[in-house]
Structure 1
């Protein structure tokens, strides 16, 4: 809306340089400044989220935080460069010490020579067409190209948006007159119109910055794999085998994606360091002779060894797990394990993940080879454990660690068989969604067809029955150039929100900020902003 008012004023200015039209430019400039401040505030929220994510997981979020900080540096640099040009224009027109500048900011109402056309052209165009508009155009071009380089040419939606908002191409000829971008924007225009134009450029810079930050934040969960944990894991039914029994083990990437089929090689391997410092792992020898691949079931490698005739003692084994990335390349991770052929010993195997989660059921299987389930007693030092046979449920009450202790009853006496320590973590934060989308582009019908927001658990989190309740948020839309904020105390879209959404045009954005949700542990979680673009 502010941009449309600016175009209308330019048209009026071409007909009549009146005091009313000049004063109207001051109002438009103030509106642009407010919009720019709103973009900056929203960007600050993004930077805080990047810092939080990088602190929690430097490996996954750190590279995207680095890119975001470079976007901030380049955006601030261009914003302040334009601000310095504005201050230079006002000072050159009004004189040193003018009351139209206060603490580095321009007070539009205090500009006395709003209609001055000479100084802007003198500074920005120059007598020999060598004015500062040339440098400004180059700076905008470099900034636009830098942002496009981050998202890549294949991301057409963002690329077209950046090319449109930061467009510096020459205007088409009109009535035979050919003008450059510099002449079209800075020649034969009064000072107040030029200042307002440059304020719009600053607003466009912050808006582009926001668009790129939204893209980068989305990439944290859109890495090379469809899950957020990549760790080779070997889980066996037991690491202590009675002679003559069979050793069974599952080999997989935790948390694994059952739609992916890894390749698991068992045998000796070596490693090499590449020029960029990464380590590559490769099997030694010839497949089938020096090493073997093992069968895959449900995304897990299954390794079986018949121990009949095998001597007692430690039996080491290992190899490489190879998993296909989203770009078609492969990631190889080494693993080592082993088993002992010996007397019976304790086995505690998680059935879903390698950690327990606070305040929810965590199923585990507990068994001691050589002893019936009825002879086994299980206890835990954090929370409660219940069940029978080999199947138990653990419900930890606090984060940190939990120790599962196992004992057996034999001949009227109780004997400890050992213990197993587990990490206890909070249930992960959910992702706010609407119409099933965590962001991006939706139609009005898709949005209005929903009752409200939902808190969706991460795809990698395989525990069923875990849910969060959204307890509040702030709905934000830009209406007539200004932020319209509507608070909510539940997940639902209010009638006022729906009416606002219905009146938005294609390309508009809505934001759900300050989202709070309560999960199974009863604590309040603060979720990231959900940004939706109207298709």
Structure 2
């Protein structure tokens, strides 16, 4: 699962009569995280060892100890709350609660059978059609899949296929008989163009990616 770089964010929390300094190292930018991805987190509370920290989240899960954690928001929401407590011999003290904004991880492109554009063999196209599962031939970040695309095939200057496919669970060539037939019989020199490529990911994240154009050889 993709792990993201993080930026230091220093927060201050007043506890009792003294200043309690809490240092939180969060993802991408202050108070921001990505739904469905592993977000690194470092927490330090002045005056307490890492072993005394108790860090929880109200969306998804968090793993780690001694100040180093990975939290993974599971559900779409405007924000996730990170709660920091410390354990003492006599009690558990509340130190800080912060809200972290949740966003969908942006994906601007995908690959088809390992290629973004250029030449592709007719055999690779046929292999993609025969692949089990969704999607067929498109590769994305884990927990994301292609839900739709328009495919055009041009042979000797003539458009022999122009179809749009859409399936929330994963668009597949075999969902349409004409698409499956034409893509199964690609000839050398045929142009294959994918446009309007849409995706769905963890936390209901959606988007549209760049078009791709191939020439069969």
TM range (shorter): 0.5 to 0.7
Is 1:512 the counterpart of 2:194 in the alignment?
yes
TM alignment of 1:43-192, pairs within 5 A: none
Deviations 1:197-255 (A, max 9, x none): xxxxxxxxxxxxxxxxxxxxxxxxxxxxxxxxxxxx8638x789xxxxxxxxxxxxxxx
C-alpha RMSD of the superposition? 3.7
Deviations 1:469-496 (A, max 9, x none): 2344332112462342255542678453
User: 1:484 corresponds to which residue?
Assistant: 161
User: 1:235 corresponds to which residue?
Assistant: 8
CA displacement at 1:392 relative to structure 2: 2.8
User: 1:405 corresponds to which residue?
Assistant: 83
User: 1:422 corresponds to which residue?
Assistant: 100
Instruction: Choose between structure 1 and 2: higher strand proportion.
Output: 2
Distance change >3 Å, CA 417–CA 454, structure 1 → 2 = same
Distance change >3 Å, CA 443–CA 526, structure 1 → 2 = closer
Rounded to whole Å, the distance in 1 between the matches of 2:108 and 2:127 is 18
Unpaired stretches in structure 2, ≥5 consecutive residues: 1-5, 13-17, 129-135, 166-170
CA displacement at 1:449 relative to structure 2: 7.2
CA displacement at 1:387 relative to structure 2: 3.9
Q: In the alignment, is the contact (CA less than 8 A) between 1:475 and 1:497 conserved in 2?
A: no
The count of residues paired between Structure 1 and Structure 2 equals 187
TM alignment of 1:50-449, pairs within 5 A: 235=8, 345-350=21-26, 353-354=28-29, 355-396=32-73, 397-429=75-107, 431-439=109-117, 441-444=118-121, 447-448=124-125
Of the three residues 414, 429, 453, the one matched with 2:137 is: 453
3-state DSSP of counterpart to 1:345: strand
Rounded to whole Å, the distance in 2 between the matches of 1:426 and 1:346 is 27
Structure number with greater Rg is 1
User: 2:133 corresponds to which residue?
Assistant: none
Is 1:473 the counterpart of 2:149 in the alignment?
yes
User: 1:527 corresponds to which residue?
Assistant: 209
Unpaired stretches in structure 1, ≥5 consecutive residues: 1-232, 241-341, 458-465
Is 1:498 the counterpart of 2:176 in the alignment?
no
Rounded to whole Å, the distance in 2 between the matches of 1:479 and 1:399 is 47
Q: In the alignment, is the contact (CA less than 8 A) between 1:432 and 1:455 conserved in 2?
A: yes
3-state DSSP of counterpart to 1:521: helix
Rounded to whole Å, the distance in 2 between the matches of 1:522 and 1:406 is 28
Distance change >3 Å, CA 398–CA 456, structure 1 → 2 = closer
Q: Taking structure 1 as the reference length, what is the TM-score of the superposition? A: 0.30
Structure with bigger RCO (C-alpha 8 Å, 6+ apart): 2
Distance change >3 Å, CA 490–CA 235, structure 1 → 2 = same
